[in-house]
């Protein structure tokens, strides 16, 4: 047996499996795609706001994944002191009016190191309401102000369970406060939810980007 063949044979077990030392960065070349080499999260689509009244995802929420994550980056309102919010649809975006029950609390810290608080906010939760759900407090519209965070929606295609969701948002409050808001709840419907809309409580989304990911 030649040296090369013997070296290869020594790196294969009796059951035909390569040993851990068989493959290294320098031993495999020319690979462009690895099957099943996923980290469990897949980018489905993204949308960029440009003085937009709202951003809606009317495709992508299917039975392919059991959880979907929306990541929003530097979403800045055109109007000062407004809230970022969302609603769900069961008719592909013709109506955004799913009945929801939610909780909402936030922590904040002022730039002056004086204002600090951790608080439940009853004014921002919903109890069997079809209204848009707030996922932030009052965001400033200054050139350096915005909100960033995520919203996870669980099993939206289920026709058995209500639709759980949870969000965590960091935002620059209009009174120069760093605020971290937490919202969770469920859409009280056993119909499949197949669209979602994000918007400000008043005015447009001046700029920002929202990504939609599917989670295995």
- List the domain boundaries for the chain: 33-215
CATH number of 33-215: 2.60.120
> What is the model's pLDDT at position 142?
95
Q: Name the band, by pLDDT with cuts 50, 70 and 90, for residue 12.
A: confident
Give the total residue count for the chain.
Answer: 216
> What is the model's pLDDT at position 185?
98
Lowest mean pLDDT among 92-96, 113-117, 133-137, 197-201: 113-117
Q: Residue 5: helix, strand or coil by DSSP?
A: helix
Threshold 0.85, pTM exceeds = no
Lowest mean pLDDT among 58-67, 80-89, 109-118: 109-118
Starting at the edge strand found earlier in the chain, the sheet holding 163-173 runs 41-52, 205-215, 67-77, 147-154, 163-173, 177-187, 100-110, 116-120
Beta-carbon neighbour count of residue 165 at 10 Å? 25
């Amino acid at each position: 047996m030649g040296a090369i063949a013997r070296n290869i044979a020594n790196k294969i077990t009796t059951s035909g499996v390569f040993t851990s030392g068989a493959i290294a960065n320098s031993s495999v070349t020319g690979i462009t795609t690895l099957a099943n080499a996923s980290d469990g999260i897949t980018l489905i689509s993204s949308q960029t706001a440009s003085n937009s009244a709202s951003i809606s995802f009317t495709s992508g929420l299917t039975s392919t994944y059991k959880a979907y994550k929306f990541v929003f980056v530097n979403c800045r309102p055109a109007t000062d002191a407004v809230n970022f919010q969302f609603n769900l649809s069961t008719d592909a975006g013709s109506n955004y009016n799913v009945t929801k029950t939610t909780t909402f609390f936030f922590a904040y810290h002022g730039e002056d190191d004086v204002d600090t608080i951790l608080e439940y906010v009853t004014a921002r939760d919903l109890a069997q309401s079809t209204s848009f759900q707030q996922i932030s407090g009052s965001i400033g519209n200054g050139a350096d102000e915005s909100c960033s965070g995520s919203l996870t929606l669980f099993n939206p295609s289920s026709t058995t369970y209500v639709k759980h969701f949870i969000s965590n948002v960091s935002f620059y409050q209009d009174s120069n406060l760093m605020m971290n808001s937490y919202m969770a709840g469920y859409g009280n419907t056993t119909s499949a939810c197949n669209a979602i809309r994000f918007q400000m409580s008043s005015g447009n989304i001046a700029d920002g980007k929202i990504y939609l990911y599917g989670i295995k």
